[in-house]
Structure 1
């Protein structure tokens, strides 16, 4: 897959989080709330060329984004989301 976002947009892939209840039951993805953490796959040129934003985010970062942000699409049987930079709330530092 090779997506190149335009302007101030970012392509992300949601991180699958396996969740367990207190009693140890593993919840399948369909029974969980949608994750708000994702990995950055591609960044638009407007972000990379702007002196203020170019160091805020990079490909491979794990980010937290707004709950209903972006547009989900399917490319090569892989679900990704395209959203604007201002819909990303934080970068998770490891």
Structure 2
């Protein structure tokens, strides 16, 4: 089954963090918080402004993003836990250090 988000919505796969602390202590599942980092796996075409013009999204498929703790709606698609959220729920795009220098 495939999924195509509409308007300014995106489909996100959470990126799991390490299960150990820097000191080597293993964190149990009950003490873990949900990751706030994810990868965009599908994106809608964008929202329309007041004049009806399509405003494309700033994020694209493959982007690593940071989002709010309670953002999005959790769904299960093809046996995988995913999130659907609006682009406005995205706090920012995580870029590699080399990419930041190019943009500046």
> Shared fold by TM > 0.5?
yes
Aligned residue pairs total 90
Distance change in 2, residues 1:22/1:91 (3 Å)? closer
Q: 2:98 matched to 1:72?
A: no
* TM-score (normalizing by structure 1): 0.84
What is the aligned partner in structure 2 of residue 38 from structure 1? 38
**Structure 1 contact 18–28 (Cα < 8 Å) conserved:** no
What is the aligned partner in structure 1 of residue 91 from structure 2? 89
Aligned pairs for 1:17-36 within 5 A: 17-21=17-21, 23-36=23-36
Q: CA RMSD in A?
A: 1.7
* TM-score (normalizing by structure 2): 0.77
Q: Which has the larger radius of gyration?
A: 2
Task: Using CA pairs under 8 Å that are at least 6 residues apart, name the structure with larger relative contact order, 1 or 2.
Answer: 1
